[in-house]
């Protein structure tokens, strides 16, 4: 049984996965209360599913990019649990989780996440043999800069507020994924982490760290 935890952004996500089924999945937007809400929510999910903590054999965690404080809460919680119970951990890039939830398309895909102070973490993806493949490292941008940089047809999905969506819609090359289909599902994080674990690709806890992006990183001019 795998427990997946995602606190990369204001959205908190939890899932229980046994390799064949997503037994439970929960996500909600927290008002900067990740530290207070996370542990009780995990306990509640285990109680609802009658899964005992002893049945958890591996942990999956979203490693970012995202909000500095939010990421630290999730990674600290997972590390503490892993050390206490001697559990392996599989970390997954948060933008990869967002991309994996989208159907493959011939158009490139831009996944975005709020990174604090009006900034967005951006990752570009293209369709490959085994699903969406990252086209390069994640970068920092803004909705305005992203809207101005896309010169060819592209899909855009992710955590966007109403004003950001309105700004992006002004560019006719941008095809926005609906809000419901843009939700970053913790069940997908769980499946990606489970597959890594099955392949023997778990992380060294001492080296596992959240992915932060620097403000000075360049923004791509074209798709």
Local structure of 178: helix, strand or coil: coil
**The tokens 């060819």 sit on which residue?**
152
Local structure of 151: helix, strand or coil: coil
Do residue 172 and residue 189 come from a single domain?
no
The CATH number of whichever domain residue 46 belongs to comes to 3.30.420.40
Which alpha helices (DSSP H) does the chain contain, by range? 34-49, 68-85, 94-100, 143-149, 162-169, 179-182, 186-198
In a domain, 213, yes or no: no
Do residue 70 and residue 136 come from a single domain?
no
Do residue 70 and residue 100 come from a single domain?
no
Do residue 108 and residue 150 come from a single domain?
yes
Do residue 46 and residue 20 come from a single domain?
yes
- How far is 46 from 81, CA to CA, in rounded Å? 14
In a domain, 210, yes or no: no
Which pair of structure tokens corresponds to residue 56?
């958890």
- The tens-digit pLDDT sequence of the chain (223 residues) is 999 999 999 999 999 999 999 999 999 999 878 999 999 999 999 999 999 999 999 999 999 999 888 999 999 999 999 999 999 999 999 999 999 999 999 999 999 999 888 899 999 999 999 999 999 999 999 999 999 999 999 999 999 999 999 999 999 999 999 999 999 999 999 999 999 999 999 999 999 999 988 654 443 333 3
In a domain, 212, yes or no: no
In a domain, 189, yes or no: yes
Do residue 100 and residue 74 come from a single domain?
no
In a domain, 190, yes or no: yes
Q: What is the pLDDT of residue 33?
A: 85
Q: What is the pLDDT of residue 215?
A: 57
Best CA proximity match to 138, nearest among 115, 164, 169, 165: 115
Do residue 134 and residue 189 come from a single domain?
no
Record the pTM.
0.93
Q: What are residue 47's phi and psi, to 5 degrees? A: -65, -40
Do residue 170 and residue 189 come from a single domain?
no
Local structure of 127: helix, strand or coil: strand
Do residue 158 and residue 192 come from a single domain?
no
Best CA proximity match to 90, nearest among 13, 16, 200, 1: 200
Do residue 73 and residue 154 come from a single domain?
no
- How far is 123 from 140, CA to CA, in rounded Å? 9
In a domain, 47, yes or no: yes
In a domain, 188, yes or no: yes
- How far is 28 from 165, CA to CA, in rounded Å? 20
> How many other C-beta atoms are found inside a 10 Å radius of the C-beta of residue 32?
11
Q: What is the pLDDT of residue 103?
A: 96
Q: Which residues pair with 137 in a beta bridge?
A: none
Q: What is the pLDDT of residue 212?
A: 87
Q: What is the pLDDT of residue 65?
A: 96
Q: What is the pLDDT of residue 10?
A: 92
Range of the structural domain that residue 119 is part of:
95-182
Work out the burial of residue 192: count CB atoms within 10 Å of its CB; fewer than 13 is exposed, 13-18 middle, 19 or more buried: buried
Q: What is the pLDDT of residue 219?
A: 38
Q: What is the pLDDT of residue 214?
A: 65
In a domain, 211, yes or no: no
CA distance readout (Å), 13 to 24, 115, 207: 11, 17, 23
Question: Could you give the number of structural domains in the chain?
Answer: 2
Which pair of structure tokens corresponds to residue 194?
């489970």
Q: What is the pLDDT of residue 222?
A: 33
Do residue 71 and residue 111 come from a single domain?
no
Do residue 177 and residue 113 come from a single domain?
yes
Ramachandran assignment for 138, one of left (phi > 0), alpha (psi -120 to 50 degrees), beta (any other): beta
């Amino acid at each position: 049984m795998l427990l997946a935890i995602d606190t990369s952004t204001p959205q908190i996500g939890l899932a229980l996965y046994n390799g064949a089924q997503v037994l439970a999945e929960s996500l909600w937007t927290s008002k900067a209360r990740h530290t207070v809400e996370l542990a009780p929510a995990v306990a509640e999910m285990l109680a609802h599913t009658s899964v005992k903590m002893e049945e958890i054999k591996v942990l999956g965690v979203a490693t970012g990019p995202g909000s500095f404080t939010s990421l630290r809460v999730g990674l600290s919680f997972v590390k503490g649990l892993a050390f206490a119970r001697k559990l392996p951990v599989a970390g997954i890039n948060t933008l990869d989780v967002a991309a994996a939830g989208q159907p493959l398309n011939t158009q490139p895909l831009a996944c975005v996440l709020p990174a604090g102070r009006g900034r967005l973490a951006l990752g570009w993806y293209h369709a490959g043999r085994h699903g969406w493949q990252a086209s390069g490292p994640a970068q920092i941008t803004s909705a305005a800069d992203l809207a101005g940089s896309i010169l060819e047809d592209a899909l855009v999905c992710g955590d966007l507020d109403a004003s950001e969506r309105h700004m992006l819609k002004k560019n006719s090359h941008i095809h926005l994924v609906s809000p419901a289909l843009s939700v970053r599902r913790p069940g997908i994080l769980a499946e990606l982490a489970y597959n890594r674990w099955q392949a023997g690709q778990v992380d060294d806890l001492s080296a596992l760290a959240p992915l932060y992006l620097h403000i000075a990183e360049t923004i791509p001019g074209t798709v």
